[in-house]
Structure 1
């Protein structure tokens, strides 16, 4: 799993969340299947800025995406988007 300690989930923008998901190769339905109690609607609201998941859920989501990305990819998306 990629190191994500330098990225704070509180600092990620809705656009960065969407780009991280897509870069990791996940669609919203797949995320729903991978993480218990996270629905496609939760991911959609997080990515649109309408609602945030709890910090622990956002960390779990970032960890899922990090399993498919390296630290440099995560940091670039977090920093530039």
Structure 2
């Protein structure tokens, strides 16, 4: 499933990133195994707002989470958090 066009990864808050990960049923270590060159620390810093990932890494991460969620779920998290 392609990422919904109504939500841009660059516009997501740190809390929205965390909620997307949890809603998609990923733990930080699982994400680390799924995406090359992303470490648990990167995910933690992204979700705490202390570090931004490159746009390409954010897009890859967003696509991973989006594959497990409906567009409505993604939009609700993005718009409310």
> TM range, normalised to the smaller chain?
over 0.9
Query: 2:16 & 2:35 partners in 1: Cα distance?
Result: 19
TM-score by length of 2: 0.96
Query: 1:51 & 1:65 partners in 2: Cα distance?
Result: 19
1:3 Cα deviation after fit: 3.8
1:42 Cα deviation after fit: 0.2
TM-score by length of 1: 0.96
What is the aligned residue count?
81
- Give 4+ residue runs of structure 1 displaced > 3 Å after superposition: none
- Where in structure 2 are there 5+ consecutive unaligned residues? none
- Where in structure 1 are there 5+ consecutive unaligned residues? none
Tell me how large the CA RMSD over aligned residues is. Answer: 0.8
* 1:60-75 → structure 2 map (5 Å cutoff): 60-75=60-75
Q: Residues 20 and 65 of structure 1 are in contact (CA less than 8 Å); yes or no, is this contact kept in structure 2?
A: yes
